[in-house]
Amino acid sequence: MRRREFMAALGGGLLGSYTGGRVAGQDSPPARRHNVLLICVDDLRPELGCAGATYADTPNIDRLAATGVRFTRHYAQVPTCGASRAALLMGRSPARSGIVSGNNGLYQGPAALSREPTAGAQTIPELFRRSGHRTTCIGKISHMPDGRIYAYDGSGSGLPELPHAWDELATPYGPWERGWGCFFAYADGRHREDGQGHQDLMEFAAEDDEDLPDGMDARAAVEKLHEHRRRGEAFFLGFGVYKPHLPFVATHGDWAAMEDRAVPLPPHPERPDSPYWHPSGEFYRYDMPFEKQRPLSPEATLRAKRAYLAAVRYADRQIGKVLDTLDELGLAESTTVVLWGDHGWHLGDSQIWGKHTPFERALLSPLIIRSPGMTQGGVCDALVETLDIYPTLRDLCDPSFPRTEHPLDGESLVPLLRDPSASVRDTATSYWGKAVTVRGETHRAIAQRGEAGFENVELYDVRDTVDPVRNLAGEQPEVAAELLASLPAVG
């Protein structure tokens, strides 16, 4: 389907069962609602300036943390983009949805979202849309980098990945021409899947922010905020930042700032003796400006890590433009901001580059929430999960905010936004394929469910390191058993 035909369908048959941002026939909601800015950052580690990483240039994220609550122990449900975002957007545990790996769970298989309106909102933006908010997706919020179902080569239906969720799918394409082109972008419209063999692990050729897709997206988000302000309408704006996801691409200035930065080597670069380890296939598929060996040399490790941090620096600046606009337009006082990293990332830790493990590194990710009337500059060390964001956004709105009949599995974090010393859960549970992992106060247990019980059980003390160092399951079986006993039933 061509883009013009798709947009015509979007305004007619595809979303024709909605009128005025709500389900046809639903009672009209109040004219004004609390706004939401949801910032999703791909592959962002919690290695931020506000978390003590003085070598990371993240002043804008740090500024958001200084005016909101930063959660130091936030864990993604699944250590991969699509499944993690499915949990965020649906508020449904992988134990219930079955989405424990992969990237297509939102639109394929038994957990696929309905293409017909249902009694309850299926995703967060749909819930806000039903309440009368203007909902806009710019960049990667669900797995698809523009919210439309297409393959890397541009083939596909072009249908919205989240049915009934967005009034606008407003990602600009520029010379990249399609969503996946923007996602894997190199400068000048080149990308990983353009058939020209662009496979460089890192590139820093661009001069200006808007020479790259995230800069274009930031400008589009700024323009959208101005539009909302002029219209005086409530909004839910999803701003999805592609970087620092592979390949590591940013401007020349970002690399110049990081090229000689004193950056620490991975504290535990040794490969663990674990069936959950993987050989970093996604990372090693790229062409590298140094010898492609396993493991990388210390010099190559530092260069790759600096490249990642240069991409983080670039992403942070785009986030800052949108946050600055909120302030300049006087919208910050009426807008809840959520900054969320979709999962963690290994940067040579445990001889892994990437996500896709049930280890602490791949599951620990940033979460910052700033909401009017809540704690400013708080740091919360309580265990929280991505599943908790949906009920939190629902509860932060006024009491007449429409409720959803769609079952939610998380816990509202509003008590923690009021008092960061509080807690709402004893454990945090995540999934990766056949593996399930439980994070308690001091330890992480990992296992696979077998016919006779749990198999391949591992237990790590994560008080002093987030990397697997020594499997304690044989020495402390009672600790592992207690953590695994807290798991929810499957199905």
What is the number of other CB atoms lying within 10 angstroms of the CB of residue 334?
13
143 is a catalytic site residue: yes
Catalytic one among 133, 143, 343, 443?
143
Q: Rounded to whole angstroms, how far apart are CA atoms 226 and 295?
A: 48
Return d(Cα 320, Cα 60) in angstroms, integer.
5
Q: How many CB atoms lie within 10 A of CB 473?
A: 19
By the 10 Å C-beta count (0-12 exposed, 13-18 middle, 19+ buried), 207 is classed as exposed
Catalytic, out of 34, 40, 50, 81: 81
Residue 44 and residue 31 in contact, taking contact as beta carbons nearer than 8 Å: no
Q: Distance of CA 279 to CAs 230, 304, 348, Å?
A: 51, 16, 11
Residue 236 pairs in a beta bridge with 36, 135
Backbone angles phi, psi at 156, to 5 degrees: 140, 175
First to last CA, the chain: 36
Backbone angles phi, psi at 428, to 5 degrees: -125, 130
Of 415, 486, 410, which is closest to residue 454 (Cα–Cα)? 486
Query: Does residue 182 have an active-site annotation?
Result: no
CB 161 within 8 A of CB 149: yes
Q: What DSSP element (H or E) covers 139?
A: strand 134-139
Residue 46: is the preceding peptide bond cis (ω within 30°)? Answer: no
Catalytic site residues? Answer: 81, 143
